[in-house]
Structure formats: C-alpha cells, structure tokens
Chain A
Amino acid sequence: MKAAAFDYTAPTTVQEAIHSLNSAGDAAKLLAGGQSLLPMLAMRLARPSLLVDLNRIKGLSEIHRKDGHLLIGAMTRHRDLETNQTIRQVVPILAHMAGHIGHVAIRNRGTVGGSIAHADPAAELPLAMTVLDARFTVQGPKGTRTLAPDQLFVGALTTSLAPDEVLTAIRVPIPSSSTHSSFLKLARRHGDFGIVAVLVVVELDKEGRYEDVRVGLGGANPVPVRARAVESMLVGEKPSETVVAAAAKAAVKEIEPSSDVHATAAYRREMVEVLVRRTLLAASELH
C-alpha cells in the first residue's frame, strides 16, 4: 500500500504546469487535493512517472460573482465551496451538495476542479455542474477552450481533457431566485460515495405549473444525466403526486446503471425512481 516512485514538480504558474505535463507525454498526473489520486497511487492503480502539483499556483481558488454567473477557481477546496457566503446566498444547493462530499478532513483538501476532472460517476459536483449547466475553462499548450458538461464528461472516470490540459475555472449561471432545488443522495454510511444521487431544480409559473425543470441523475450511469424526456414531460403540467410519480418512473429509462460491490443495476434503477419522486415532491413544495 505504498506508491511506486515518481518525479515531482510544484510549478508556480499554470503555464509551467502545462509545460511539465506536455514534456512528460502521457506519463504525468496533476495533483490537486489528492483525495482521489493518492489512494490510487497507494494501491498502484495509477503509476505516473511525474506528479505536477498545482497547490503552489496562486489565483486558482477564488470565488467571484460576475454578470449573473459565479466564477469558481478550480483549486477551490470543497470546504470553501460549502462555507462560502456568496455561494450560500446565490446558489445554496451547490454549498449543500459540497457538504455531502466525504468528511471535513477530505473537504479541507479536495478541490472542485479535481472532483470534476476525476469524473467519478457517483460524485456530487459533476452532477451539480451538469444540472446547473456550468462551463469549464481549460488551458493547454494550444490555448484556452470552454467546455459544456456533455463535452467534458465522456465516460466513467473519463473526461475529454488532454494529458497536457489543466481545468482552471468553472463558470456557473446563477439560477433565478424563484427556483427551488432538492438534492438527495443514497449512501449506506454518512460520507460514503452515493449509490445514486438526484438533483432537481424547479421553477413554477404564475399559475403554479412547471415552467422550467431540470432533473439530474448521478451514480446510475457512466456520466451524470439530464433526464430530458422527463423534463419535457413535466413542463406545463401542474405538480401533483400522480404527475411526479409518472415522471419518476420515466426517469429510470434515461439511465444505464452498472452493478458493482455497492449495489446492483436493478437496485440503482429502483432507487433512482424513489429519489426522483422525493426530490420533485420537495422542490415542487408537495409533501
């Protein structure tokens, strides 16, 4: 349970980091919070020849509000996302979801960019960013590009980031103040990865009908899923137990869960239906 040997560098700028990655070909890994990478190194599931430590680069962990968006530096720690007053005021669901990541000691080190770049199917932040329709700023040797969630998340633990690219910032549109959000994560123990997780964001029109609905499913598919068919089915409807139950049933068709040591695919399907029903009821203010 000890890591294989590797070289190590701690650049002080993003450009230096990109250069180090680029020189190593495929063989380097970025070190951000280390809460996912170090276990992999210890178990020798990853054997990079070079670690490029991002922790000495200044200016990557700021949180700003600008033009109806939140700009979040990729090295922002989960604990800061959880406790930041601006986030708690304008996108409280994001702070709430960050608080579900592991335990405080993990959140003190783990980073927003790290979680997103690691792209664990059960992780909270990839799900949040998918539902909130965030944009990811990625820097590489050829310059800077911006990716939408469905362009970044391509498979389980797989993103479209090139080996010499660095995710530097996340831009989150601030939801209107008339939206209601609900997040539920199913885990056997507090702090575990979710078996499945659901995030819904709902806006009702003046007549109390669904105007805008976003339904995000996590842990039940290689990448976080926006249940678009469910969302279309709800728009224009008046919230009710029946409508919500039908939506929850339909959500199951939009995922392709796997079986693993934690749960079977069948159990995940069943639980997605349960969590979608509960989150829709909560967000639609039906209890």
Chain B
Amino acid sequence: MAKLPITLKVNGRKYAADCEPRKSLADFIRQDLGLTGTHLGCEHGVCGACTVLLDGSTARSCLLLAVQADGAEITTVEGLANGGDLHPIQQAFWDKHGLQCGFCTSGVLLTTLELLKENPNPTDEEIRDRLSGNLCRCTGYQFIVEAVREASQRVQDSEREPAQRAIAR
C-alpha cells in the first residue's frame, strides 16, 4: 500500500509525515523523527524499552502502528527535560545511580512518570509491581527502586514549590 499521511505532536512539537501502514510507532519515532531515546528491545511487547506516553498514558510503541498515532500527542524520554534542566525523576535517577547501560531507562522513566501521577507515594512493592513490565539486565532493580522512591519525593517537592513562592510574596 502507498504511504499514508499522518500528523502528530511529539514532545509538544507538531510533525507531518508519510509512512507505510506497517511501520511501528517506535520505528517512526526513531527513524523518521530522529528521536532515538526510545529503544527497541524485543519488538513484541515484552521488555518495555519502547515505552512512550500516548495521549498521556504509557503504551508500548512497538505495538502501535505509526498510522494509529495520527492526531495523537506523544511524549518520549526526550520530552522530560526542560531545556538544560533534568526532570525531577531524571535527576533522582542520576543521583541514586538508577541506571547502568541506560537501555531500559527511557521506558522506566516514563513508566515512573505515570506511576507517580497515579500514586504519588508508592511503596517499594507497588514500585516493583509497576516496573515488572520494564526488563533491566544490568541493575538488579535495587537502585532503580531507590531512584523511584527518591523521585516520588522530588516530584512532590517540585509541585509544592510554586505555591510556596506565592506565599513568600
């Protein structure tokens, strides 16, 4: 089949492109948009390395066709940092050594983002439960769990800040 046109927003920026129906969203993001932070680990939905946010919810981009994302808003790992400032979750992973090779990390960060939005103070068990869909071969998960715990604190602190500044005035 000839290529189909799609338009979508990725990390707040609008893109328009033509692609084959069979092209996965993961391949589109990596090849057509040059955003290689999203990784391909298994290409059959098991490892979580390809995790993105689709209209605000986590999804395995290897299990989505690019044509399905027409009109959608995607967030990839590249969308977390604010200019030169790491997202509080990224900063927590940096400080707590929550990554080694980094291959699983982009997926882990977006899964963590969704977890903390739904459950701002998860227990270790809840963290491990949520991360069981992101396979990591390097870390044994211990520092990942600590990083998520730290991240939960940092995210809450960052949300409190604007209010405190308002009071100070």
Contact = CB atoms under 8 A, between A and B. Distances in A.
A286 interface: no
Interface in B97-129: 111, 114, 129
A48 B52 CA distance: 27
B133 A4 contact: no
Contact of A42 (B20, B44, B58): B44
A91 to B, nearest CB: 22
A39 B45 contact: yes
Contacts, number: 90
A190 B64 contact: no
A51 B24 CA distance: 14
Contact of A109 (B22, B27, B48, B63): B63
A109 B133 CA distance: 14
A7 B44 contact: no
B158 interface: no
Interface stretch (A15-23, A100-108, A128-136): A100-108
A109 B55 CA distance: 11
B43 A108 contact: no
Interface in A50-92: 51, 53, 55, 79
Contacts of A43: 44
Interface of A: 1-8, 10, 31, 34-35, 38-39, 41-43, 51, 53, 55, 79, 102-106, 108-109, 189-191
20 contacts: A1-B43, A2-B27, A4-B22, A5-B22, A6-B1, A7-B1, A8-B67, A10-B67, A34-B65, A35-B45, A38-B24, A38-B65, A39-B45, A39-B63, A53-B68, A103-B48, A104-B130, A104-B133, A105-B58, A191-B132
